[in-house]
Structure formats: structure tokens, C-alpha cells
Structure 1
Amino acid sequence: MYKFTLVSYLRSLFALLLLGIFASCETTKKVAYFQDINAVGQSELANTAKFTEPLIQADDIISISIFTIDDKTGMIVNQVGTQAINTVANQTAALGATPPTSGFLIDKNGEIDLSVIGKVKLIGLTTYQARELIKEKAAVFYTNPNVQVRFANFKVTILGEVARPATYVIPNEKVSVLDALGLAGDLTIFGRRENIKLVRDNDGKKEFAILNLNSKELFKSPYYYLKQNDVLYVEPNKGKAASLNQARTQTYALIGTIVSVLIVLITRF
């Protein structure tokens, strides 16, 4: 009777130790995205987030290309921004810094200085509006100019539990949270899908938001589409903390092994 009670006690203790180990690990029930989308062929989600074109601000770098009938005259304008940036690039490379992006830097007055055309104020405009303005001014000097304008340094930063945390320069102005996370190689198994933190610089003030990848309501969020210089932070879950605590895990494993050996020895005598 005593032997049976001791064996039962040791087995119970072993079971509790196993529960303690597994309880420290995060379950996978919250890994899948958009868990509230269940019905096959579900109707479209109403009132989804609307994209707002970003406005050009001071210190932005804008890529501008002007094409004309005479390729040589167009090259005069197109090379100005690149030459100016390359001069700075050579200086920063000598210091071991990352070279800047090629393009025209918007100065503190919100202007750029184009060869032949002169100064053009672009601050507060969308790239489409900037294109039309530059095209109008270029038409004075060139025949039927074709102008292309886009952000050369539209960047977002993804930190935390993603495969490739980094700052990404994106050639497309319309980038969503999912696009950005895709660039970063998606979340790791340890990332909290329901608590993605977004930090945004809004007129010199920091703005914060929480995004939930587990819910389809993400598509309605005003923060679904990112803006320049947005920062996404993926918080680690409890499983990450448990995985980092190797000493505790090894101790549990050692105790479990010892208890298993004791159970085997007791049951044989």
C-alpha cells in the first residue's frame, strides 16, 4: 500500500512538472491571422480604410525625371539631383555612413532647385500635384515634357519579432501594414499578433496605435495604410520569455528525468 502511494505521488509530481513546463510556453491558438473570418464566401467588409496620398514635407527626397523630345536637354535636369546627392554620398562613404538616396532634397522652405527651370515649391503637395506643377513650369523651356515624380525615401521601420527587422525604403506610396510585415519576412512564432504597436510622427508629435492582426477589423483601421517614417513594433509573447529562460527549462528537464528514473526503479522493486 505504501509503495502504491509513493508511486502515485511521484507520478503526480512528474505530471505537475510537465504542466509547469508547458504552461510557460505560449499556445498557438493566436498564431493565425484574421481568425474572425470563418464563413466561406463571406460578403465584402464594409467601411474599409481609405488611402490618403502622402504630402511632401521638408527634408523629403523626391525623385524627379523630365523627358523631352530632345533627350539631351532632359538629361540636364535629371542629373542635377543625382550629382548633388552623389557629392554628399562620397563624403559620407568616407566616414563609413550609409549613402543617402538619390533625388532632390526638399529644403526648409519646401523648395527644390531644378536646372534651367529654377526653384519650385513642393511642400504640402502630393506627388501627382507636384508632377503637374513641374510639368507646367517645364513646358516653358521644353517641348511636350513628360514628368515623373515619386518619393525616393519613403521608408518604414519594422522592429521586434519579425524575421528581418530593419528600415525599408519603399518605392510605392501606398503601403499597408501587411505589405510592411511581408517585407520584413512576417512575424516569428513568438510575435504577438493582437498587439502590434505603431508609432507615427504627426506634425512633430508622436502618435501611437495598437493593431490586431487576429481580427478583420484591421482593414477598417485608419492606421492600416502606413505613412512615411512610421515605426511598427511587434511585441514578444510569453513563449519568447520562456524560451530565453534556458536555465529554468533545463532545471525542469533535469528534475523530470530524475523523477522518471525514480519511478522506474520503484516500480521494479
Structure 2
Amino acid sequence: MQNLIRICYPAVALVLLLMTGCIPQKQTRYLQDLSADKDYQNPYDTLPGVTDRYFLQPNDYLFIQVRTPDTKISEFFNATSSGSSNMGQTTTRLYTYMIDDRMNVDFPYAGLINLSGCNMPMAKERIRKALEPYLKDAQVVVRLSNNSFSVLGEVRSPGVKTMHKDQITIFEAIASSGDLTPFGKRKKVILLRQTASGSQTVMLDLTDKNIVDSDYYYIYPNDVLYVRPMRAKNWGIGESFSIGIITSALALYLTITSLTK
């Protein structure tokens, strides 16, 4: 009899462990209305704008091309592309210039052009002005070449991802990583962002619909997203976990209990 009672204790512990290991649906749903929750306060500021929010940083790579009505003048200022007859990847690389630690790009014949505090439209205008002593009515094309971000942690496909357009949302970034696993903490996604004043670390709640109107709804080049794991993963509960496991353990416990009476 005592042996059977001792057997019951592990069964009870197993049932409690499995029940606490269940992941509530509220922890896994995106974009919920949390305003009815007790003591809820919107943690996000309103987004003032969408485009041109990214400011250039050291080690960014810029695609710069000068176009003029005179083909020979264009070739002169795009000297690094001489001998290239197409606009494929090779040509793109030859038109690319790195921003150094002092925020300068070394452009042929124009020399060092400082781009401190510039977003893309400002950089384009500053480069155009630097070329004014050499030519007029020139069209300058400037694009960011290293438009990538990183996703780490509890996602199905972590790694460095390429932005295929100038502006993507945080949910597009997560979708490019195959979405979060069931163990990803949607309420505590860490965003690491480099700014002119230094690194910025922000904790984001993807279950809160107010994130859509915030400054962190959009991902910028060089951003890093880290998704932390839930405790359920440390307990070894797999994705195929179901309520059937709990009911089976509970049935075993009740059977043993009835045998001891």
C-alpha cells in the first residue's frame, strides 16, 4: 500500500508540470487589444513618419552613380565602372563606396565627401553639391547597398536577412525568418538598433496592437532582433505537446489511487 502511495506522488508532479507547461493562447497571438488589461499603459510613442528615418552610419555601403547628357562626362565621374557594359551585379559593386569611421566617402575626382547626420535624401543632395564645381545638371543616383538585418533566437530560420525594399515592418522581418516558434516570447522581443548616439536596446511586445503606430514598427538596416525562449522549452516539452498527455497522466493517477483504496 505504501509503495503504491509513493508511486502516486511522481504522477501528481508530472500532471502539475505538464499543466504549467501549457502555453496560453494569449501568449502566442499577435496584435491584441490589451487596453482592457488591468494597469495597461501604451508603451509606444506615435510614429512621426515612415520614410527616410534611417541615418547613415560608418561601414555602410552606398551605390553612387552620376548621370549626365554627355556620355563621356558620365564615364569620367563613374571611372570605376570603365569597361563594364551592363548594369548587373558586377557593375553595382563597382559603383559602391564605403562610409569610413569619419563618415566620409571617397568619390573619384570629388575627393572626400562627409555624410555625417545624413539620411538618404540628404546624402544625395550633399554629393550633388560636392560635384557642382565639376559639372552642372547632373543626376545623382544614391542607394544603400548593405540593407540587411539579423534575426536570432526562437525563430524557425534565424540569420542575416536582406531587405528587398526600402522599408519593411517588424512582422515582415519575422515572416522572412519563418515566424516565431511556439516557444518564442512574443511579449519580450529584443530590438538592438545602432543610432548616431550609440546602441539602443528596446523590449517589444508583439502581442500589443499599438506597436503598429510606434517608431519600432519598421525595421532599419543593421537592426538585430532577438526572440527569447519560454520556460516550457527548458522543461523539454515539444511542439507536439497536447492535452492528451495531461489526461493520460491524470487517468494513470486516478487508476493508481483507486487501487490503493
Shift of 1:193: 0.9
Say how many residue pairs are matched. Answer: 230
Q: Give the 5 Å matches for 1:154-193.
A: 154-170=147-163, 172-193=165-186
Please state which structure has a larger fraction of its residues in helix: 1
The two structures have a TM-score, normalised by structure 2, of: 0.68
Residue deviations 1:100-158 (CA, integer Å, cap 9, x gap): 99720112332222223333222222211221232344455456432211221233221
CA distance in 1: counterparts of 2:94 and 2:20, whole angstroms: 48
The two structures have a TM-score, normalised by structure 1, of: 0.66
Shift of 1:59: 2.4
Shift of 1:55: 2.0
Residue 13 of structure 2 is aligned to residue 20 of structure 1: no
Partner amino acid, structure 2, of 1:210: M
CA distance in 1: counterparts of 2:160 and 2:219, whole angstroms: 13
Partner amino acid, structure 2, of 1:131: K
Shift of 1:76: 4.8
Q: Residue 235 of structure 2: SS of its match in structure 1?
A: helix
Change in 2 beyond 3 A, CA 1:133/1:14: closer
Q: Give the 5 Å matches for 1:79-228.
A: 80=80, 103-138=96-131, 140-142=133-135, 144-170=137-163, 172-203=165-196, 205-228=198-221
Q: Give the 5 Å matches for 1:69-80.
A: 69-71=69-71, 73-78=73-78, 80=80
CA distance in 2: counterparts of 1:179 and 1:126, whole angstroms: 23
Partner amino acid, structure 2, of 1:53: R
Partner amino acid, structure 2, of 1:191: G
Q: Residue 116 of structure 1: SS of its match in structure 2?
A: coil
Counterpart in 2 of 1:63?
63
Unaligned runs of 5+ in 2: 36-44, 84-92, 239-244
Check whether the contact 2:65–2:95 (CA below 8 A) recurs between aligned residues: no
Partner amino acid, structure 2, of 1:23: T
Partner amino acid, structure 2, of 1:27: P
Change in 2 beyond 3 A, CA 1:139/1:237: same
CA distance in 1: counterparts of 2:177 and 2:79, whole angstroms: 32
Partner amino acid, structure 1, of 2:163: I
Check whether the contact 1:56–1:124 (CA below 8 A) recurs between aligned residues: yes
176-185 or 29-38, larger mean C-alpha shift? 29-38
Q: Residue 50 of structure 1: SS of its match in structure 2?
A: coil
Change in 2 beyond 3 A, CA 1:72/1:81: closer
CA distance in 1: counterparts of 2:214 and 2:96, whole angstroms: 32
Unaligned runs of 5+ in 1: 1-6, 39-45, 84-99, 246-251
166-175 or 180-189, larger mean C-alpha shift? 166-175
Partner amino acid, structure 1, of 2:123: A
Q: Give the 5 Å matches for 1:227-242.
A: 227-242=220-235
CA distance in 1: counterparts of 2:223 and 2:94, whole angstroms: 18
67-76 or 120-129, larger mean C-alpha shift? 67-76
Change in 2 beyond 3 A, CA 1:176/1:202: same
Identity of aligned residues (%): 26
Shift of 1:185: 2.0
Counterpart in 2 of 1:86?
none
CA distance in 2: counterparts of 1:118 and 1:205, whole angstroms: 28
Partner amino acid, structure 2, of 1:28: Q
